[in-house]
Chains A and B, each alone.
Chain A
Amino acid sequence: MTAISPEIAFPTKRQRSRSLSVTATLAGRRFALTSRTPRELLVPLLTPVLFALVIAPALKKALHTSASYESYVAVGTIGLLIPLNTMFSGLSVLVDQESGARRELLAAPIHRALLVAGNLVVALATTALQVGVLLGFAVLRRIHFHLTGTGLLWFLAVALLFTVAMYGIAETLAARVPRSEEYIARLPAIAIVPWFLAGSLFPVTSLPLVLAWIARFLPLTHALALMRWGLLHDSSGLHNVWRSSNTTATASLSLAVVAVFALVLTAVSVRVFKRAAVQ
């Protein structure tokens, strides 16, 4: 058995308390900065709201589909909202680096992973706010959801994990590119292209075979299938991905896929941030 070195000790209660306090301080700072730039909250919301409230009803009318298509697209637009909002949150990290107090934070006696954690907390809060607004508008537009307590839990779990995963990508990109222009240039490829492939507007089985297989490896495909199961009680997305009729098993598998992405991408983002901080 390997002995634990005395230097590698588990954090004490005081250290954990200090970490929480620091994360709260950093999140408070980030939230205050975000609230001073309303574009960070409003711009990511515009396109999804447009899709849910204007384009989906128009498509329903033009394609003579049923009312359930509006619900289908309304949930699908959450898959656009989360990547857009998290990527915009990453942009604010770059702005902080270019003209804010980032270097002061790097010189502070805190573990640098907490800087990422503080930003993530705010990305989660703003995403929750925006998803709430989107769903609120959808309900006002008389778009129907089939909501149960269990379904809501599935939805919240996958939305949380998918937001964490996407914020990992945003933070990683912000640490890797030197300027906001380069960051923005990469945004469509990360936030928008996967949305068209992941079953947002139509089932992945409608895609050509190769693209349908690629879609099955996208975390967004799993996230949307699970969101629809949670909010609409529609398991067709899960069935299309896993080709199984055991909904609980496929929902668990899709949640696990998104959780793995969240874990790996967060770990990568912290590592990349810490390395970039000393270069």
Chain B
Amino acid sequence: MTTMELQHEKPRDVAEPYDGLAIEVRALTKTYSDGVDAVKAIDFDVERGEVFGLLGPNGAGKSTTIGMLTTTLSPTSGTALLAGLDVAREPVAARQMSSVVFQDPVVDRSFTGRRNLALHARLWGVAADEAAARIAEIAAAFDIADILDRPVSGYSGGQRRRLEIARALVSDPQVLFLDEPTVGLDPRIRHELLDVIAGLRAAGEVTILLTTHYLDEAERLCDRVAIMHAGRIVALGTPSALRMSMGAELLEVRVDGDAQSALDVMLARGIAGDEAFAVGSTVTIPLRGRPAADAIAAVHEIGIPATAVSARPPTLDDVYLRLTGEKGLS
């Protein structure tokens, strides 16, 4: 489908039910005023009710993409539709369809949690009686009912994060954007939050676009993921399909010294192919049906300073490392 095909003849009435894609992105590009190409002509679709992950290292363009989809950044070119509404041509209507949980805390700390939720409801045009009922329902579901009348300044990091997700859901959005929602949280709170998001996924009532560089989060929560690197989408698919793109088994060689030099030797000797990669002190080689024992023997024969050699199934980390050349946080 081309960019032109995505553009509607006239603005869609937001009151009309819409059963098309939740998010449609075509050739979306962002070049900042200082000349930095943050996002380079990316394309992807997100189905309704799907949890879609944008993975990538810092600076890959994930937050810029969310910024454009939530109309807090203007695209340089390309098209993005939220529930059929063009974010550039109908920004207010597009914002009506979505809510955002930002990477950094974005709350009125001196207000109570309830007041933060009520403010969101009013700005999104939720009727007062409906808002009160929805706040009560969501507060109970997110286990924040007891603290809702306390100022947010007294909340723990996890409570504040749960409040921010609850706030985003008060307006019953069709699309929920979660921009690295677990960054900076301690492991216990992080796992609590992952349960909350998993619950949303199980309910299937809201489409979620999630950015993260925690690969275990993506693997656990996302129906499909797109890996971004230097402003481009370099891989897109289900976590299992992306894992399988590396084959059924990998050889992992830990070396004492420069892993890149060891990889160069293995490439020269035909032990490793183009898909092999080196990160830190580890060389990773997709086996592609070759018996692991043969590969291990070949590594020992060429005499590189290996401290450990093992075979294992691929993970999403391997896909990420091969495509971005950077370590994810799993």
Contacts and interface: CB of A to CB of B under 8 A. Distances in A.
A150 to B, nearest CB: 41
B119 A278 contact: no
Contacts of B124: 108-109
B275 to A, nearest CB: 40
Interface in B100-137: 100, 102, 106-111, 115-116, 119-120, 122-125
Given A107-B99, A109-B96, A101 B74 contact: no
A74 to B, nearest CB: 35
Contacts of A103: 72, 100, 102, 106
A25 B95 contact: no
B99 A25 contact: no
A32 B115 CA distance: 11
Given A32-B111, A33-B110, A103-B102, A109 B72 contact: no
A129 interface: no
B93 A7 contact: no
Contact of B110 (A36, A107, A108, A111): A36
Interface in B77-95: 92-93, 95
B95 A277 contact: no
Given A25-B119, A101-B107, A110-B92, A18 B125 contact: yes
A18 B109 CA distance: 26
Given A109-B92, A109-B96, A104 B120 contact: yes
B72 A111 contact: no
Contacts of B122: 21-22, 25
B111 to A, nearest CB: 7
B106 A104 contact: yes
Contact of B72 (A22, A29, A100, A278): A278
Given A103-B72, A111-B92, A22 B123 contact: yes
Contacts of A33: 108, 110-111
Contacts of B95: 107-110
B33 interface: yes
A14 to B, nearest CB: 11
A82 to B, nearest CB: 26
A106 interface: yes
B11 interface: yes
B11 A110 contact: no
Interface in A59-116: 99-111
A40 to B, nearest CB: 13
A101 B108 contact: yes
B230 interface: no
B73 interface: yes
Contacts of A278: 71-74
A36 B70 CA distance: 30
Given A29-B108, A33-B108, A33-B110, A105 B123 contact: yes
A25 B73 contact: no
A33 B120 CA distance: 16
A277 B72 contact: yes
Contacts of B125: 18, 109
A279 B123 contact: no
Contacts of A36: 110
A32 B112 CA distance: 12
A26 B122 CA distance: 10
Nearest to A101: B108
Nearest to B74: A278
B171 to A, nearest CB: 9
Contact of B33 (A21, A106, A279): A279
A109 B98 CA distance: 9
A32 B108 CA distance: 10
Contact of B119 (A29, A102, A109, A277): A29
B11 A7 contact: yes
Given A18-B125, A101-B116, A109-B125, A279 B73 contact: yes
Interface string A13-45: 000001001100110010011001000000000
Contacts of A111: 92
Nearest to A22: B123
B72 A107 contact: yes
A279 B116 CA distance: 25
Contacts of A279: 33, 73-74
Nearest to B115: A32
A131 B125 CA distance: 36
Interface in A226-279: 277-279
B100 A107 contact: yes
Contacts of B108: 29, 33, 100-101
A110 B122 CA distance: 11
A79 B36 CA distance: 45
Contacts of B11: 7
Nearest to A111: B92
Contacts of B115: 32
Interface string A195-225: 0000000000000000000000000000000
Interface of B: 10-11, 33, 70-74, 92-93, 95-96, 98-100, 102, 106-111, 115-116, 119-120, 122-125, 167
21 contacts: A18-B125, A22-B122, A25-B119, A32-B115, A100-B109, A101-B107, A103-B106, A104-B102, A104-B106, A105-B123, A106-B72, A107-B100, A108-B120, A108-B124, A109-B92, A109-B124, A110-B92, A110-B95, A111-B92, A278-B71, A279-B33
